[in-house]
Structure 1
Amino acid sequence: MSDTTNCKSENWYASWFDTPYYHILYKDRNYREAQIFMDNLTHYLNLPEKAKVLDLACGKGRHSIYLNQLGYDVMGADLSENSIAEANKNANETLHFVVHDKREPFEDKFDAIFNLFTSFGYFENEEDNLQTLIAIKESLSEYGFAVIDFMNVYTVLENLIPEETKEVDGITFHIKRYESNHFIIKEIDFEADGQKFHFEEKVKAYTLEDFQRMMNEAGIYLLDTFGDYKLKKFHKNTSERLIMIFK
């Protein structure tokens, strides 16, 4: 057995999201719920037919594909080259995928930009997270709207499971969760293919107030907040999610 492959690089997302193990661990995510969320969102935003939509941090593109099936002209963007290579197998005339750093604005302008399932707050440096917000704002068309779907930090911390074990496809994942230095951290240890692996996920524990402060700084207008995928009102002590609509 070799030494543990320790992947606590500064940019944890660059290594972890590019491994097949990330997709194995999370393969049972509820995609039907995600589709209902996108139905509700696109309906709420009243997006025109063939609207240009950006799925920012799209992973393997499952949500981009669904948005495209709803009739939109979709661009999926992600930093992971492996994920984009996988997503590109589904590309068509109105569905495109690119490797992209979300701190950089797009030359194209979009009618809607979706940043879904807590794909924000990865950067150590606050300035980089602010830069991501500014890039989103600058990539919107004149009448466009952006959506960030984030965890509700209050309920996450209230219900944090410090340790658990999950077995998926014959791999036993040992997971630890804790808060440290205003980050929510998940440590993932497992053995696979004759090697021991250690990965970390780190997401800034941003509250609604933190987002409001950053949005003010970025010149962004927060239009609405919701607390779940059915778009019910946000309640800080009980809501599952923090979903923000802004421009």
Structure 2
Amino acid sequence: MIKSKKEWFASWFDSPFYHILYKDRDYAEAQLFMDNLTNYLNLPEGGKILDLACGKGRHSIYLNSVGFDVTGVDLSENSIAHAKKFENETLHFEVHDMCKPYSQQFDAVFNLFTSFGYFKNEEDNLKTIEAIKSNLNEYGFGVIDFMNSEYVIDNLVPEDVKVVDGIAFHQKRRVQDGYIIKDISFSVDDEDYSFQERVRGFTLAEFEELFEKAGVYLLDVFGDYKLGKFHANKSERLIMIFK
């Protein structure tokens, strides 16, 4: 059994099994979202973007390919080591804790694919938004792409098994103390593994409270990657643009 004293995301996201379980993510959809978002924000040509909690850098690499100067940061050393293979003069990756300000300012800071609400310490959620604010230049925009917690909870599948690359991932989901929790267990080469994903089920109203405390202004809210209108009971995403 793999146990760790680190925060759950520091060990799970650094595990090769995380990337196996989620290998079928839709790259075309991610690229369409980036096109829609950058066009909507009307970012300057060659504009600077910080991709906060970038993972292996799929959004960063695409954004750079269409002309942006991108810095991707993540807590996972393994993910950043992989992403660094794609670096060039206008694409950089670095290990960084997102609840601390980065050393530069940007035209946009993107926090994508529900990469928020992981922390045990509630104050770190506010610190992350304050850090985003400090990393925006005078005309910059912050973007948080989060799950729509109300929709996720209403449609929660309590238990299932997902087989990827011959590994049977047993997934159990529940809501507890405001967190959406997924327990993941599997066996590889006669060794048992277990991990847990634990994300605070923030609602739009709770984000609005955080934004107010951080002194940022919510400009727009969208409910999908085509930037359609947000509906609390049926939108799958909660995409917030602020400055």
Per the shorter chain, which TM-score range? over 0.9
Which of the residues 125, 138, 145 maps onto 1:142? Answer: 138
> What is the aligned counterpart of 1:56 among 52, 55, 61?
52
Where does the alignment leave 5 or more consecutive residues of structure 1 unmatched? Answer: none
1:5 alignment partner, SS class: coil
Are 1:155 and 2:151 matched, yes or no? yes
Which of 9, 16, 25 pairs up with 1:13? Answer: 9
Matches of 1:106 and 1:123 in 2, distance apart?
18
Which whole-Å deviations, capped at 9, do the CAs of 1:175-198 have from their partners, x for residues lacking one? 001000110000000001331001
Structure 2 letter corresponding to 1:76: G
C-alpha contact (below 8 Å) 1:61/1:76 kept by paired residues:
yes
Residue type matched to 2:2 in 1? Answer: T
TM-score for both structures, normalised by structure 2: 0.98
CA deviation string 1:167-222 (max 9, x = no partner) = 00010000001000110000000001331001000000100000000110000100
CA RMSD of aligned residues (A): 0.8
**Residue 10 of structure 1: how far off its partner (Å):** 5.3
Quote how far apart the aligned CAs of 1:81 are: 0.4
Q: What residue number does 1:241 align with?
A: 237
Shift of 1:140: 0.4
TM-score of the pair, normalised by structure 1? 0.97
Letter aligned with residue 144 of structure 2: I
Give the match's secondary structure for 1:242. Answer: strand
Q: Do 1:146 and 1:245's aligned partners in 2 also have CA atoms closer than 8 Å?
A: yes
SS at the partner of 2:46?
coil
Count of aligned positions: 243
Q: What percent identity do the matched residue pairs reach? A: 64
Secondary structure in 2 matching 1:147: strand
Asked whether 1:115 is paired with 2:123, we answer no
Structure 1 segment 152-231 matched on structure 2, within 5 A: 152-231=148-227
Q: Which amino acid aligns with 1:126?
A: E
Q: Give the residue type in structure 1 aligned to 2:14.
A: D
- Contact 1:212 1:222 (8 Å CA) reproduced: yes
Amino acid at match of 1:169: D
Q: How does 1:81-96 map to 2 (within 5 A)?
A: 81-96=77-92
Q: 1:99 aligns with which of 85, 95, 98?
A: 95
Q: Which runs of no fewer than 5 residues in structure 2 stay unpaired?
A: none
SS at structure 2 position matched to 1:137: helix
Answering whether residue 39 of structure 2 is matched by residue 77 of structure 1, we say no
Give the corresponding residue for 2:28: 32
What is the rounded CA distance, in whole Å, between the counterparts of 1:180 and 1:225 in structure 2? 26
Task: Report SS of the residue matched to 2:141.
Answer: strand
Which residue number in structure 2 is paired with residue 127 of structure 1? Answer: 123
Give the conservation status (yes or no) of the 8 Å contact 1:5–1:195: no
**Runs of 4+ in structure 1 over 6 Å off:** none
CA deviations on 1:100-139 (whole Å, 9 max, x unpaired) are: 0001111210001110000000001110110000000000
